[in-house]
Amino acid sequence: PYTLHRLDSANDYSAGIPHCGYYQEVWQQYKRVGLEAHHMAAQRVALRVGHALQARGETVSLPDCIEAVALSRRLAALRGTPPGRPEILDAMLTALVKDSHSRDELDRLARYLSADQVGRVPKAYPVAPLVEDFRRQCQLYKLPLSPLAAQEKRLDIYRSARHRNISRLLHQLHFLDTPYATLSAGPDFAAGVDLERVREIWQVQWTPATEALLTERMAYGAQLAEAALNMLREQLQNDPRAAPQCLIEALRMGLHAALDQVLTHIEQWLNLENEFPALVRGLNLLHLAYSARNALAARSLPGLEALLSACFERACLRLNWLGQMDEEAALACMQALGDLNGLAQANSAQYAWADVDLFIRCVETLQRATLPPQLQGQAVAILSVRQVWAEAQTRQALQQALQEAQLSPDYLGGYLLGFLPIGRSLLIQSPDLVDAIGQLILDWDEEVFLATLPGLRLAFTRLKPRETVALAELIGRLLGGQAPDVHSKLVWTVSELAQLRQLRLQTQQALGRWGFGDE
């Protein structure tokens, strides 16, 4: 069954009519009062919208609704038509809207004319095979098949085979964009977060739209697993870059029969991909699949380790091809290089596929003047923290960065933005480097300092609170004073609080004159 809202042309249903709920009301009234149906429908619609506005806190009264109906009749008389949908909408806009900022609210309330009544299918009438499979599995696993409140399902996917099967079913429904289940907590293998969790928590709720959408998905197959598999294949064909993501989805949905095909698409994507950030994103997903293969009941994935090694090698070699780029691309490459550095582990069997020596050699090539300062600073941090460079080399590289900053002050902010996330401990433990940076900043005039300040502030936000305190203490000692007490709480006096309240009131009044509310 479909709701009237789904059949509304305003919701991109080209065969529908706008606000079909209004015309449903006209039809119901026509069966009762005949030719007076438009007048009765206008009354009922005005009352509904009036009640909805009241529920939203608007000052709408019954006389306002009566005035809207009367106004719609006068508009209809001027136009020579019965009071139809355009007349009642124009009348409500005039009679029910009290100020300008409520017009958007009324536009949204006008969609209420689409209504949410649900069609009914006779029990003996056949349904789509995909819906039958959905109902069968819901009955098997005791999942809701009626429009009740949302239920919470806690699934122990590692210990219980039954819970693992339910999880696969819910992931299949989610992949098919079916409004039925939402994962609210648990390990998210696609995003690589909360992997330490051992249970999935789902919010499950059946709605009429659930089976309506499954009926539309019949083009993909007669069973949920078949439909999910065919949609997965479609994604692989339409977007080669989605291949690593599709591997995770196939594992979560239990589509192990499709894994060989997905790995083939990943190999094809790998041979064509040339963008460094895209390669690292794919590598991260492959590593997640490799790490979670036991948890996702896919212990044997022949070829995955070889793909990991090939993807890692290709990502490293792309470092040699990086050159001038805009700031957005530089930040994307910086994030990707940080991820690649985290995957280049030499002393772990889990990362045996990573050629760490190749990674180091490629990072050393990033000391090129044509590269953005973010990548240059990040490369220095990687080589220093991994002790590939001696302390003297690190000091020399940072001194060169300071000299470059004298010619281009913006250079220092970008350089530190790349350096600090990995090498912040080196800076905190090197008073002479901190002193050199301070002396450089003192040599700048006010205009240069203000132009550079946003970049420096962004770079130092990468420090943790404890590291910020340590750096503040170091700077305090270098200046011959004491570091500020960053742990002390700010205490406001009564007069200061009164001034703050007065300032807030004045701000609200100023914003109100421009149509901005307190929100």
Q: Could you give the 3-state DSSP secondary structure of residue 347? A: coil
Contact between 392 and 384 (Cβ < 8 Å): no
State how beta strands 151-155 and 181-185 pair. Answer: unpaired
Q: What are phi and psi of 101, to 5 degrees?
A: -75, -10
Q: According to the model, what pLDDT value does residue 519 have?
A: 47
Q: What percent of the residues of the chain are helix, what percent strand, and what percent coil, each to the nearest 5?
A: 65, 5, 30
pLDDT along the chain (519 residues), means of 10: 59 60 74 78 80 76 85 86 79 73 57 60 75 91 82 87 91 91 85 79 86 87 92 90 90 86 90 91 89 71 86 91 86 92 78 86 82 90 88 82 80 87 82 78 80 85 81 74 63 88 88 65
Q: According to the model, what pLDDT value does residue 124 have?
A: 67
Structure tokens at 210: 């659930």
Structure tokens at 400: 């060169």
Predicted TM-score (pTM) of the model is 0.69
- The residues spanned by each domain of the chain are 9-114, 129-225, 370-488, 490-519
**C-alpha span between 107 and 22 (Å, rounded):** 15
Q: According to the model, what pLDDT value does residue 366 have?
A: 85
Q: According to the model, what pLDDT value does residue 136 have?
A: 92
Q: According to the model, what pLDDT value does residue 37 have?
A: 78
Q: According to the model, what pLDDT value does residue 227 have?
A: 93
Q: According to the model, what pLDDT value does residue 343 have?
A: 87
